[in-house]
Structure 1
Amino acid sequence: MPFKKLHADIKEILESLEITIPTPFQSKSIPVIKSGANIYCTAPKDSGKTTTLVLTTLHKLKCQQVGVAPRALVLVENSEKALALHDEFIKLSKYDAVRVYACDDREHIDLLKSEIFEGVDILIATPKTVNKLLLLEGLNTTQLKIFNIDDAEFLVDKTAYAAVMAITQSIHKCQYVLYSEKMNPMLKRFEDYFMQFAKVVSVK
């Protein structure tokens, strides 16, 4: 059972929310993500992809605060998705267990930069914002352990795609996990860059 092998804090939260049975996608994907490989995760809507992203990221960080630089990065399509995902992390983690920060594109970049400098474990943002932070030396990627892209279909946009390529070039070693409803040639192309030796977990 994938949930039984997660960090004790996560199991406690899941039990309190009465989430006991993993979806078929979660049963298939969680053990592979925990292995540390680069992975393409494809499954239809409402298969449990977002919950999987949250649970495996919390597990990777051992549900604890460490240092000031982000150890997990999650790219999303827009600020609304960033804020919604932030709420999911808060719901599935113990109070103050990890520091989760969602970048709102409507805020000034200097404000985002100063708040990130105060210490963040999980950073959620759009590719455009992360790229801008890197250019302004407002983001330290040296401690990253896991890099997720949620609903990666939005990367068909050339600007977002180019931003992801630029971001990944600044990262030396990290696990990459991409979530989407379907695999497409644009996502497959990442294998030549940062998704080397990637596994595919697919549920239809």
Structure 2
Amino acid sequence: MQVIGTTFFRAAYDANRSRSPAIKFCNAWRCALSSTFQDLGLSETTLAAVAQMGYNAPTPVQEQAIPLALEGRDVVAAAVTGTGKTTAFALPVIERIDRAKKPGSPRALVVSPTRELALQIDAACTQLAKGSGLRVVTVVGGVPYKGQLSKLSRGVDILVATPGRLHDLMERGDVKLRDVEILVLDEADRMLDMGFWPTMKKIVAATPSSRQTLLFSATLDRKVMQSVSAILRDPAFVEVAHKGETSDTIEQFIVPVGSMQKASLLRLLLAERGSKRVIVFTDTKTRAEICTGQLKRAGFRAESIHSDKTQAQRKRALAAFSKGDVDVLVATDVLARGIDVPDIAYVVNYELPENPDDYVHRIGRTGRAGEAGCSISFVSPEAKAQLLDIEKLLGSKIPTLAVEGYDATEAERALANRFVSKTTRGSAAFSRSLRRNPTGFGRRR
């Protein structure tokens, strides 16, 4: 097992030490690494596609993962969002596979937990595969089968899919995975959180044992590694992110506020800092709809996106936001991972997330690819336990932001005086999740 990166995951070692006692360390990603795409071993055709995408130099995760994947190694990679994970697995896939010979039998399979992320991967793979002759097809839930079946029947080399729709198509006999040479699991930790792993085990079992496996995620921990270790063969570990790490280009602030004052505070914040290219995260679908309605009535061009929206509605909202027809996008955590909308001015946490890791993914929508970003979190006294969980994960206190026209004195006092026991801090997300959903299976957002 080879380990590359700034820190070696103990969980990764524990999960794999019985099979691979040899461990090689590299103290920094810069050692023995190249600095251009030309040095990574890519073909001229692929390099031309990379140049057309406007990529000038590989990011650290691309620089580390691409050569290993091109060698045919299994790779487990962790990197903060916005660092180019999609390109890091797409380029080796395009380089290593040939065209499929049978309809519905792809040579490469990319599985992602959400429709939005799958569509983003599809767009990136399609652009990068230009000139290669490879066919990219995406199958996701929430849309009719007919169009997807038509594309599959015409042949597919790279299949991008969400677990549920893929398993359905396998059961129907419309997709066969016996020819898969490369399996990519994107956001594996999210798949576990969303309860997809039983389905994923059936999908993985349908692929050849000789396949190459590439696993990419924003975070890796013991739970993830214990689940995936059985499907990996002597993997190389690439780490560019630590648990709880956020991009150093993102400024983070909190604003203490009572729950009833959040709507007026948001309007003041948008008026002061600008309302263009802003994402507002809420904790529930209902709150997202209420917040969007309030913003529209106040004259802001706002739209919402969450799991109750149809795929077409979500796609239209994202497209309108990307084009600038919508200025403020109000979203639940369905948008918190993997969606790459460039030039986000700032992110607002209208409500703090239940899971501290989700905070990292939310604010990762801004400050992407080295650009400056900003996140502002509204913190009510009731959310103090969540704030403490987040600050513990980050390893630092988040400073308070003053907003013009808003007096935070009373809210600051209430937040400071709110008592949170030590047991509440560590179990805040778990207990809130159980109260909202006693079955323990979590809710879709």
Output the TM-score relative to the length of structure 2. Answer: 0.43
Which residue of 64, 70, 83 corresponds with 2:106? 70
Counterparts of 2:148 and 2:80, CA distance in 1: 33
Counterparts of 1:108 and 1:122, CA distance in 2: 20
Unaligned runs of at least 5 residues, structure 1: none
Higher-Rg member (1/2): 2
Deviates more, 1:36-45 or 1:113-122: 113-122
CA pair 189-113 structure 1, distance change in 2 beyond 3 A: farther
Aligned AA for 1:108?
Answer: P
Counterparts of 2:142 and 2:177, CA distance in 1: 23
Aligned AA for 1:180?
Answer: S
1:169 matches 2:217: no
The match for 1:47 is 83
Residue deviations 1:42-76 (CA, integer Å, cap 9, x gap): 11111211111221211122xx5332320111111
Residue deviations 1:109-161 (CA, integer Å, cap 9, x gap): 46534431321011111111121222222212121111111222212236311
The match for 2:239 is 202
CA pair 14-67 structure 1, distance change in 2 beyond 3 A: same
Residue deviations 1:65-93 (CA, integer Å, cap 9, x gap): 33232011111112222112111112222
Residue deviations 1:93-114 (CA, integer Å, cap 9, x gap): 2157211111131233465344
Q: Given that residues 3 and 22 in structure 1 are in contact (C-alpha distance below 8 angstroms), is that contact kept between their aligned partners in structure 2?
A: yes
The match for 2:297 is none
The match for 1:89 is 125
Q: Given that residues 135 and 158 in structure 2 are in contact (C-alpha distance below 8 angstroms), is that contact kept between their aligned partners in structure 1?
A: yes
Unaligned runs of at least 5 residues, structure 2: 1-33, 242-445
Identical pairs, percent: 23
The match for 2:177 is 141
Offset, 1:202: 0.9
Aligned AA for 2:160?
Answer: I
Counterparts of 1:110 and 1:196, CA distance in 2: 37
Offset, 1:203: 1.2
Q: Given that residues 54 and 89 in structure 1 are in contact (C-alpha distance below 8 angstroms), is that contact kept between their aligned partners in structure 2?
A: yes
Deviates more, 1:69-78 or 1:189-198: 189-198
Offset, 1:189: 1.8
The match for 1:178 is 215
